[in-house]
Amino acid sequence: MPRWPLFQFTKMMGSDCLDKVFKLIPISEDSPCLMLHPNQSELLDETMIKTTIHFGLQKIEVTCKQLATIKENEIGLSNTVIENLKLPLEVDYDVSIQNGEIIIGPFIGVLMTNSRAKLKKKVNKLKQISKQYRLVRGVVVAFSWEGIDQNNSKIIGYIYNPSSKKWEEGTFPFPAVIIERTTLSTKRKKYFKKLYGSRFIHSLSINKWKMYQRLRSNQHLIPHLPKTFLYKKPNDILKYLKTFRTIYVKPLSGLQGIGIEKFIAEPDHYCVKYRSNQKNKIIHFSSENELLDYVKSKFKSKKFIIQQQIDLEIEKNHSIDFRIALIKNQSGKWEDVGIVGKKGVKGSIVSNLENGGKVIRAQTLLLTSFNLSEDEALSIRQKMYKIAIKAAEEIDKYENIYKSGVDIAIDRHHHIWLIELNNRNPSKNIFLYLGDYDTVSKLQNAIIFYAKYLAGFPKETENMGSN
């Protein structure tokens, strides 16, 4: 006997939420129709005598009918509808009503590779989706660029079958949402952006200068941004040293504090500090010409920014800052899910773990290094969260991002500074060091629940804050 899918039917009725589970029953009917027992008529609005059913980008107009012979825990769909929508029957679905139309799903596509030949091996990397499938339901299809039939709006790929716990190959309609898990050419990326708009979730890499310009467009963030300038010529270093006495030069692109140098104008000479091979380095220059010769040889590419120094040496010879983890949840809202403190090794100009820094619980750092009370620590953390979320929202205006690692610092006057946002692939390892598996899990699962929201299945959640 064939297994028929279950439909988790959700409908908001005023302030109440109607939530029922039905079994899908195929109906031998030539015309496209949806059938319910008369006692379940409350599921549909009175105006929905005719409505549209969506499954991914596929849709069909149906007539809604009442049928006394169908059981109260069943929904009937004519075979015409099932065949037109190309509805896989080996999975269970959520069903929602939006603007008088029915959405079956979620139907989420994961673009794993450009090559169809490589897809089968790549599918095995989707273990996190397999583990969380019971919370997602619907269809998750992994596919390649070469598996797309643009003319007929079909894809060849693998869907996860929760019964067999395997990925099974088939041909499917275009999904409702696409997650990019490979590197696409600009042309191919434009194709998906045009077709899906904000429902195409792709990685985003913005260099530090563009990031600064975008954040600076928000008046509320300006007081929290270190003054930053684009490096154009060697004399820029001297110019800003005369203004700030101490500056940082950072690569436009790059992570983990690599390539950052700190320039200092001492009363009788100049010096530069940096990290190399896990060691602190310092070079002294007795004249401006010596300094300029060094700058000319070191920064030939001109792909750098110059940034005013922020005094983060709260503990002598140790720089301290914080990493806040943000995700977009299933209600499409930014949520802070974790925060850790970072403390650089003695004399280091950066706090990154890769450069010998330590990870410390944020609360511990605030209470000890900053000498704050419990209430003061809570207050400043709430301010940090608000600034981090406002920054993520600002970047989100330009591209659809779903998670961000926000680096924030506090100076000795307790002023909050926004250092950097990592939206491409913020590392979860920093939270693993502290055994914060809850935050790690939320970061890993963020994309699939945000995709479920975009596919038409939002969930009202509260911002939970961080520990």
Tokens found for residue 327? 């995700």
Four-way CATH pick for 315-454: 3.40.50.620, 3.40.80.10, 3.40.640.10, 3.30.470.20: 3.30.470.20
Fold match, 6-104 / 315-454? no
170, containing H or E segment: strand 166-173
Give yes or no for residue 430 having a pLDDT over 90: no
pLDDT in tens, 117-153: 999 888 888 887 888 888 888 999 999 999 999 999 9
Q: Please state which CATH number belongs to domain 6-104.
A: 2.40.40
Q: What architecture is domain 107-201?
A: 3-Layer(aba) Sandwich (3.40)
Helix (H, G, I), strand (E, B) or coil at 328: strand
Q: Which residue has the higher pLDDT, 237 or 459?
A: 237
Helix (H, G, I), strand (E, B) or coil at 377: helix
Enumerate the domain spans of the chain.
6-104, 107-201, 227-308, 315-454
- Give 96's contacts (C-beta < 8 A, 6+ positions apart): 10, 11, 102, 103, 456, 457
Q: What architecture is domain 227-308?
A: 2-Layer Sandwich (3.30)
Q: Are 157 and 125 in contact (CB under 8 A)?
A: no
Give percent helix, percent strand, percent coil of the chain, each to the nearest 5: 30, 35, 35
Structure confidence at residue 217 (pLDDT):
95
pLDDT in tens, 53-73: 999 999 999 999 888 888 988
Pairing, β 16-27 against β 74-78: parallel
